Chain A
Amino acid sequence: MKQTIIPLGPYHPLLEEPEHFKLYVEGERVVDLDVEIGYNHRGIEKLSEGKTWDQVPYLVERICGICSTSHPMAYCLAVEDLVGCEIPRRAQLLRVVVCELERIHSHLLWVGLAGHFIGYNTVWMWAWKYRETILEICEKLTGNRNHYAMFKPGGVRRDFNKEQIDYALEHIVDVEKPTRMLTDAILDDPVIHKRLKGIGVLTEKDAILYSALGPTSRGSNVPWDARNDEPLDGFKDLKWKVIVQKDGDVFSKGVVRLLECFESVSLIKQALIGLPEGGAIDADIKEIPAGEGCGRYEAPRGEVFHYVRSDGSNMPYRHKVRAPTFNNLPTFKASCKGETIADVALITASIDPCYCCTERVAVVDKNNNEKILREKDLLKLSVDKTMSIMKKLGKTPPLYNMEI
């Protein structure tokens, strides 16, 4: 059959950031694909060589708006590995709280976008609505919805007071309940099953061969999680588990992300409750000796890797940054082959793109300003629809938790 090349990008409605995919297709089927990146190259590694050790966290925070704590975290771990200092327990737990809050908001963002991409805008609006609560907790705790500037080599910059901790503990429950409802709804929805199951399968062998990271590898039965694999002190006494799914398709990657949200909620609760009274939040590093260090931390999208080399001066001699997408993008060569063009756009989204804004919906009666469709009504409408589809397919509809 004649082979045709179809360009996807660099600017395309489905890609929030410029990347160029060249799809080699025969009829509807994609036989090969080529990824071109570099449209967003900002020279961060070179810039970092001209900044002092304390200025670099602010720079690496701006690598990605969504992973804005994972990069500074990995950088701080690298510097601490180089210096070899002990971090106070309180600082470790504060780090866990901020990092896990970021994980929930990033995963919910992805779930929303995935829903949007498959034309299921209900999922999109729900997920982003619940994400808003997380962002409010972030603002209360750190002073900002994104770009928290919390980390410094040796500890954290700000402490939480009692009022902030109480606020977070009280409102984290507001996220857990509706997210549970959303997760149940997505896991049972026959429409989503039909659309996402068996699409873009990345086999376990390929995931290892491409060294895929994060939910991309964990969706393919490879249990790599830097929080577990790297002996991070902060997670030592906390109870949580690594979520792994077996199938490697888009659905599995989604399930990993959704279930990880609950692990994160549990980690945040444990960290906030177990926070030791008072004490230092900073190891107070005075001098950075010559040497080298590696920092690995699990960002929402996968492991972030930072390597720093010092020659004893006040700036890094070399600072290497590897974001998870760098390893995950080449996996498309394995997962997109044989798929249709319509599915490729979804598979490319399945490793998690970046986007930042929020949406809400309310139908209001113009005459008396009264809300006609409340959240409960909308929820009921969508549950009714799912049930009717399931009945048509001859399946028994499950009981939904209607509590939000």
Chain B
Amino acid sequence: MSKEIIKDLKKKLKGKIIDMAEVRDNRIYVRIDPKNILAVIEYLFFKYKCKFCTASGMEMREGIEIIYHLAREDKKTLINVKTLIPFPNLEIDSVGKKIPAFRWIEREINEMLGVTFVGHPDMRRLILADSFPKGKYPLRKNFKHSDVTDEDYDYERSGL
């Protein structure tokens, strides 16, 4: 099943894919350049009828890696689209401006890892408090619990 999908995607997304591999049966990993993200995801979601599971962001040595997990349910296959946004300019096109399912997870990655999603319609904080200090990203590897003290909280911003 996955062989078929790999062949399909190679043809349809020609020039946009850096690398593609079937790691295990029904798990496909696709690596793409961050500037192609909107085109690839839009194709997978609207034309290829994939369901959006979620996106995982994580800090790597070279930058922030985001993996968009999309599932093609009728073929029982999970397609993981990987993209690496290099330091220090952490910017990527927002998929949420076209597909509402992506909006919340982009907000979460923004506050947790500090990636800016260009064109996102609503970039408020989702999970962290409004008073949580700006410029601190809890899911970065060098973040420690002791990094944020009570004095750092900006209660005026939260209106308390």
Q: A residues near B, CB below 8 A?
A: 37-38, 41, 43, 45-46, 81, 84, 208-211, 224, 229-231, 291-292, 294, 296, 303, 305, 307, 309, 317-318, 320, 322, 326-327, 329-330, 333
Whether A330 contacts B103 by the Cβ 8 Å rule is: yes
- Interchain CB contact under 8 A, A296 and B71: yes
Known: A81-B24, A231-B26. A41 touches B101 (CB 8 A): no
Interface size on B, residues (CB 8 A): 33
Chain B interface secondary structure, helix, strand, loop or mixed? mixed
Q: Which residue of B lies closest to A225 (CB)?
A: B73
Residue of A whose beta carbon sits closest to that of B26: A231
B125 at the interface (CB under 8 A from A): yes
Residues in chain A near residue B126, CB distance under 8 A? 37-38
Which residues of B in the span 20-51 have a Cβ within 8 Å of any Cβ on A? 23-27, 51
Tell yes or no: B67 within 8 A of A by CB: yes
Contact call A330/B54, Cβ cutoff below 8 A: no
B101 partner, pick from A230, A305, A309, A330, beta carbons under 8 A: A330
Assuming the contacts A46-B138, A211-B101, asked whether A305 and B69 have C-beta atoms less than 8 A apart, the reply is yes
User: A38-B127, A45-B139, A318-B56 are known contacts. Are A230 and B104 too (CB-CB below 8 A)?
Assistant: no
- Interfacial chain B residues near A333, Cβ < 8 Å: 100
Minimum CB–CB distance for B157 against chain A, Å? 15
> Which of B52, B58, B74 has a CB less than 8 Å from the CB of A211?
B52
Cβ–Cβ < 8 Å partners of B54 in chain A? 305, 307, 320, 322, 326-327
B104 and A326 within 8 A (CB):
yes
Tell whether, in the assembled complex, residue B138 and residue A320 are in contact, meaning their CB atoms are under 8 Å apart.
no
- Asked if A224 contacts B78 (CB within 8 A), the reply is no
Bound together, the chains give a CA A296 to CA B69 distance in angstroms of 11
What are some 17 contacts across the A-B interface (CB < 8 A)?
A37-B127, A38-B128, A41-B127, A41-B128, A81-B27, A208-B51, A211-B51, A229-B71, A230-B78, A231-B76, A294-B80, A309-B58, A318-B56, A326-B104, A327-B101, A330-B104, A333-B100
Contacts of B118 in A (CB 8 A): none
**Contact pick for B53, options A41, A231, A322, A329, CB 8 Å:** A322
Chain A contact surface mostly = mixed
Task: Give chain A residues whose Cβ lies under 8 Å from the Cβ of B56.
Answer: 307, 318, 320
A303 to B103, CA, bound (A): 18
Q: How far is the CB of B58 from chain A (nearest CB, A)?
A: 4
B129 near A: Cβ within 8 Å? Answer: yes
Given contacts A81-B24, A318-B58, A326-B54, whether A307 and B69 have CB atoms under 8 Å apart is yes
B24 cross-chain contacts in A, Cβ below 8 A: 81, 84
Write out the residue numbers on chain A whose beta carbons fall within 8 Å of the beta carbon of B143: 46
A209-B100, A305-B53 known; A38 and B129 CB under 8 Å?
yes
Q: Which of A38, A84, A208, A296 contacts B78 (CB 8 A)?
A: A296
B99 contacts partner chain A, Cβ-Cβ < 8 Å: yes
Smallest Cβ distance from B121 to chain A, in angstroms? 12
